[in-house]
Structure 1
Amino acid sequence: MILTRGWRDMRTMKLLFAETEAEADRLSDREPGAEHLLLASFSLPDGTSRRVFERLGSNRDALREAISRVHRDALAAAGIGDTTPFDDTASVDTAPSRPRTGPLNLSAPAREAFREATAVAKAGRRPFTGADIVRAVAEIEHGTAARALETLGLERSTVIDAARAEAEA
């Protein structure tokens, strides 16, 4: 039983990490961060990320737009000017690619969120889910993901509670 859970978790991680890189590529970011991990969690087959955001009256598209807005606002604040709007129709095949050498290099907050998500699932003796990723990313106080949730009008504590409830359902 534990072996089966381990294989399932490995497949889930492979999918999550591939989609995290793809999300970073779609946003033309060099290093995948917590916001990319959060977006990638929607691709997991358990569907819990989608259900968490539905509970909160939001969805993946709104989150993508909020992340894009946070990026544009940060560039404008730095005086870099207007950037090309985020294209949510881009696919992995058409997104600008970066050289893939070695393991996925997540930002420090994304690594910590992933560690936290897997630790919570392990403590509960269950496979990790998208809801665990949502919860762990929502626990991060600063950064693009936190500002994107704020842009959506979502309080981090509310997101954490919704993710916890979904993971325990």
Structure 2
Amino acid sequence: MMLTRGWRDMRSMKRLFAETEAEADRLGDREPGAEHLLLASFSLPDGTSRRVFERLGSDRDALREAITRVHRDALAAAGIGDTTSVDTALRRPRSGPLHLSAPAREAFREATAVAKAGRRPFTGADIVRAVAGVEHGTAARALEILGLERSDVIDAARAEARA
């Protein structure tokens, strides 16, 4: 039983990390962060991330738009109003192992620890819960833009993980 869970977790991790990197690429970010991990959690076959956001009256598309808005606002605050002028040559393809930002690494560790303590495979809801626990950064600001309290997101993710 434990080998089966471990094998499932490894497949889920591979999928999650590949999608995390793809989300960072789609949003034009060099280093995958907690926001990319959160978006990638929707790709997991368990469907729990989607259900958490449905409980809260939101979805992946709204989350992606909120993240884009956070990025756009940050660029505007830095005096870069038109992102088309950003040199796309600086966005070189990654090579080698995936390097998550520190908040993303910590959120992933938290998610897997919660699942391990519950003696079950980790799920998208575990990722949502852990990322919602990150107090600062793009993911926290995106949840705020969506009108979602981090504590409500955490509670919905807990409920979904128990379901």
- For normalisation by structure 2, the TM-score amounts to 0.94
When the two chains are superposed, the root-mean-square deviation of aligned CA atoms in Å is 3.2
How many aligned positions are there? 163
Structure 1 residues 96 and 25: CA distance shift in structure 2, 3 A: farther
Contact 1:66 1:148 in 2 (8 A): yes
Give the drift of 1:78: 1.0
CA deviations on 1:73-115 (whole Å, 9 max, x unpaired) are 011011111325xxxxxx9999997433221100000000000
Contact 1:138 1:159 in 2 (8 A): yes
- Percent identity, aligned pairs only? 91
CA deviations on 1:133-155 (whole Å, 9 max, x unpaired) are 00000000000000000000000
CA distance in 1, matches of 2:38, 2:135: 14
Contact 1:114 1:133 in 2 (8 A): yes
Contact 1:46 1:130 in 2 (8 A): yes
Contact 2:30 2:91 in 1 (8 A): no
Contact 1:138 1:146 in 2 (8 A): yes
Structure 1 residues 69 and 95: CA distance shift in structure 2, 3 A: farther
CA distance in 1, matches of 2:87, 2:71: 22
- Larger helix percent: 2
CA distance in 2, matches of 1:145, 1:124: 25
- For normalisation by structure 1, the TM-score amounts to 0.91
Contact 1:20 1:40 in 2 (8 A): yes
Aligned partner (choices 92, 100, 104) of residue 98 of structure 1 = 92
Over 4 Å off, 4+ runs: 91-97
CA distance in 2, matches of 1:160, 1:128: 15
Structure 2 alignment gaps of length 5 or more: none
Question: Paired residue for 1:110?
Answer: 104
Structure 1 residues 161 and 93: CA distance shift in structure 2, 3 A: farther
Structure 1 residues 129 and 94: CA distance shift in structure 2, 3 A: farther
CA distance in 1, matches of 2:161, 2:88: 34
Contact 1:25 1:95 in 2 (8 A): no
Structure 1 alignment gaps of length 5 or more: 85-90
